[in-house]
Chain A
Amino acid sequence: MIAVMLLSAGSPRVAAIDQGSAANAEVKIDNFVFGPQTLTVPVGATVTWTNKDDIPHTTVSTDGVFKSKVMDTDEKFSYTFTKAGTYSYFCSVHPKMTGKVVVQ
């Protein structure tokens, strides 16, 4: 049990949405972190990133698949994933901030 707790405490935050539910998911940008850092969604899902931070951020796909404009506080960016795959992304203003969307 303790080992499980330790393992889960050390792992990156991962979230998945129910395949049967509406294909929408949210990623919050707060305190220089994308949350959840890894999101699993079905093909056709629309993911919305919301900047809850008090400074600007962006969401840019590593492969150039999507790219948001600079988002101010509470501004949003959405993208619909039409193909399965793993999409890594980062904030182009603060490249240390990274995240991943797994489309199944």
Chain B
Amino acid sequence: MSSFFPTRGFLGTGATFAADINLVVQLIMGAALITGLVLAKQKRYQAHGICQTTVLLLNLLMIGLVMWPSFREQVRPSLRKVVHNWYYAAAAGHAVLGITAELLGLYIVIVAGTDILPLWLRFKHWKRWMQTELVLWFIVLVSGVGTYYVWYMAPVR
């Protein structure tokens, strides 16, 4: 657990503070991505770019502060149990999807916002890539909420 946060959570589910704050931030980021989508539809592309990039970077921070330490301490040492135990399966599935979404997002931001990559590594079908990322992100969000449920709410058994 990260020592940046107090131990007990504030949502009343028995989760840690880090897990609760992460859940709230993730839901806010989901709403922000929808807002970003609306901005793109309104052709306010600069605002759209700032909005989606902020979410992407904030998520990177949450991965570093909350999700990765938690995964490293609790799931990685017991990866052999992934197939048999929902506790580990939910987290591992979420991690794989989440890393994919974060990397794809970073790739999109680099292509859209910089000239770092050579031409042959840059995509052309902007809408398709961004829509794929948005759909993937929401799958990750749902899997994250599912992981929270399995870890902190389902244990009352």
Contacts and interface: CB of A to CB of B under 8 A. Distances in A.
A93 B78 contact: no
Interface in A35-81: 54-56, 60, 70, 72-73
Interface in B1-48: 1, 7-9, 14-16
Contacts, number: 41
A55 B9 CA distance: 20
A92 B157 contact: no
Contacts of A94: 14-15, 152, 155
Contacts of B8: 95
Interface in B42-98: 73-74, 77-78, 81, 85, 87-88
A53 to B, nearest CB: 9
B74 A92 contact: no
Tell me if A's interface is mostly helix, strand, loop or mixed: loop
A79 B74 CA distance: 22
Interface size class of B (residues with CB under 8 A): 10 to 19
B155 A93 contact: no
A31 interface: yes
A65 to B, nearest CB: 15
27 contacts: A32-B156, A32-B157, A54-B85, A54-B87, A55-B74, A55-B87, A55-B88, A56-B73, A70-B73, A70-B74, A70-B77, A72-B77, A72-B78, A73-B78, A90-B7, A92-B7, A92-B16, A93-B1, A93-B74, A94-B14, A94-B15, A94-B152, A95-B8, A95-B14, A95-B15, A95-B16, A96-B14
